[in-house]
Structure 1
Amino acid sequence: MNLVTHAKGAAGFLHRFEGLRERLPGARLPWLAALRDEAAEAFRAQGFPTRRVEAWKYTDLQPVAAAGFDEPLTPVDDALDLPPARAGARAVFVDGRFRADLSSLDGLPFAAGALAQRLDALAGRLGALARPAEEPMAALNTMLFEDGLLLELPEGADGGVLELLSLATASERPAAFHPRHLIRLGRGARLTLIEAATAPEGARYLHNPVFEIELAEGARLTHGRLQEEAARAFQLATVYARVAAGATYDNFTLNAGGRLVRNEIHVALVGPRAACHMNGAQLLAGEQHADTTTALEHAAPSCTSRQTYNTVLMGRSRGVFQGRILVRQAAQKTDGYQMNRALLLSPEAEMDSKPQLEIYADDVKCSHGATVGELDPEQVFYLRSRGIPEGRARAMLVEAFLHEAVEGVTDEPLRRALDAAVAGWWARQEEGLAA
Structure 2
Amino acid sequence: MSAVTRMRTPAEAALIERFAAEKATLPGAAEARAAAFARFETAGLPSKRVESYHYTDVRALMRTVAPDFAGKADGMRQPETDEPRISFFNGVLHSVSNLPPGVSCEALASALASGTARLGVAMGQASDAVVDLNTAFAREGVAIRVAAGITVPGILHISLTDAMAAAMPISSRPRVIVEVGAGASLCLMESITGSDGIAYQVNSVVELLVGDGAKVEHIRVNLAGDKALVLSTLAATLGAESELMSLNFTSGGEVSRHQSFITYAGENAKLRLNGVTMLNARQHCDNTLVVDHAVPHGESRELFRAAIDGEAQGVFQGKIIVRPHAQKTDGQMASNALLLSDDAAMSNKPELEIFADDVVCAHGATCGALDENQLFYLMARGLPRAEAEALLVEAFLDEALDAVSHEGLREALAAKVSVWLSSRKTAA
Specify the TM-score bucket, using the shorter chain as the normaliser. Answer: over 0.9
Is 1:327 the counterpart of 2:357? The answer is: no
- Mapped to 1, the partners of 2:125 and 2:136 lie a distance apart of 9
Query: Structure 1 residue 5: deviation in Å?
Result: 8.9
Who is 2:201 aligned against? 206
Deviations 1:204-229 (A, max 9, x none): 21110112111111011100111110
- Mapped to 1, the partners of 2:139 and 2:198 lie a distance apart of 20
Deviations 1:243-295 (A, max 9, x none): 01100111011011001111111101121110111001111111111000110
Who is 1:159 aligned against? 152
* Number of residue pairs aligned between Structure 1 and Structure 2: 422
Query: Structure 1 residue 382: deviation in Å?
Result: 0.6
Out of 104, 108, 116, the position equivalent to 2:109 is 116
Query: Structure 1 residue 78: deviation in Å?
Result: 4.2
Name whichever of 116-125 and 322-331 sits farther off: 116-125
Relative distance call for 1:62 and 1:432 in structure 2 (3 A) is farther
RMSD of Structure 2 on Structure 1 (CA): 2.1
- Mapped to 2, the partners of 1:326 and 1:203 lie a distance apart of 39
- Mapped to 2, the partners of 1:90 and 1:211 lie a distance apart of 15
Query: Structure 1 residue 411: deviation in Å?
Result: 2.1
Relative distance call for 1:421 and 1:395 in structure 2 (3 A) is closer
Relative distance call for 1:395 and 1:188 in structure 2 (3 A) is same
- Mapped to 1, the partners of 2:335 and 2:281 lie a distance apart of 21
Out of 177, 189, 193, the position equivalent to 2:172 is 177
Who is 2:53 aligned against? 56
- Mapped to 1, the partners of 2:151 and 2:209 lie a distance apart of 16
- Mapped to 2, the partners of 1:132 and 1:288 lie a distance apart of 31
Out of 408, 416, 420, the position equivalent to 1:425 is 420
Secondary structure of the structure 2 residue equivalent to 1:209: strand
Contact 2:149–2:184 at 8 Å: present in 1 too? yes
Who is 1:29 aligned against? none
Is 1:215 the counterpart of 2:192? The answer is: no
Alignment of 1:257-272 (within 5 A): 257-272=252-267
Who is 1:75 aligned against? 71
Name whichever of 44-53 and 168-177 sits farther off: 168-177
Query: Structure 1 residue 107: deviation in Å?
Result: 4.2
Deviations 1:91-144 (A, max 9, x none): 1011222112xx313443211242223222336732223479931101110111
Secondary structure of the structure 2 residue equivalent to 1:74: coil
Out of 168, 178, 182, the position equivalent to 2:162 is 168
Relative distance call for 1:240 and 1:68 in structure 2 (3 A) is closer
Is 1:37 the counterpart of 2:34? The answer is: yes
TM-score if structure 1 supplies the norm length? 0.92
- Mapped to 2, the partners of 1:389 and 1:105 lie a distance apart of 47
Who is 1:25 aligned against? 27
Contact 2:123–2:261 at 8 Å: present in 1 too? no
Contact 2:225–2:253 at 8 Å: present in 1 too? yes
- Mapped to 2, the partners of 1:371 and 1:136 lie a distance apart of 30
- Mapped to 2, the partners of 1:257 and 1:122 lie a distance apart of 36
Contact 1:167–1:197 at 8 Å: present in 2 too? yes
- Mapped to 2, the partners of 1:219 and 1:333 lie a distance apart of 21
Deviations 1:375-416 (A, max 9, x none): 100011111111112222122212222222212322224313
Secondary structure of the structure 2 residue equivalent to 1:159: coil
Contact 1:300–1:331 at 8 Å: present in 2 too? yes
Alignment of 1:287-298 (within 5 A): 287-298=282-293
Contact 1:384–1:393 at 8 Å: present in 2 too? yes
Out of 229, 239, 258, the position equivalent to 1:234 is 229
Contact 1:181–1:211 at 8 Å: present in 2 too? yes
Q: Which amino acid aligns with 2:16?
A: L
Contact 2:111–2:117 at 8 Å: present in 1 too? no
- Mapped to 1, the partners of 2:204 and 2:250 lie a distance apart of 15
Out of 350, 357, 360, the position equivalent to 1:365 is 360
Q: Which amino acid aligns with 2:392?
A: L
Contact 2:123–2:236 at 8 Å: present in 1 too? no
Secondary structure of the structure 2 residue equivalent to 1:375: coil
Q: Which amino acid aligns with 1:393?
A: A
Q: Which amino acid aligns with 1:79?
A: G
- Mapped to 2, the partners of 1:78 and 1:5 lie a distance apart of 41
Secondary structure of the structure 2 residue equivalent to 1:21: helix
Out of 365, 371, 392, the position equivalent to 1:397 is 392
Q: Which amino acid aligns with 2:13?
A: A
Relative distance call for 1:182 and 1:430 in structure 2 (3 A) is same
Name whichever of 91-100 and 169-178 sits farther off: 169-178
TM-score if structure 2 supplies the norm length? 0.93
Relative distance call for 1:299 and 1:316 in structure 2 (3 A) is same
Who is 2:382 aligned against? 387
Relative distance call for 1:113 and 1:431 in structure 2 (3 A) is farther
Unaligned 5+ segments in structure 1 are: 27-31
Percent identical across equivalent pairs? Answer: 34
Who is 2:141 aligned against? 148
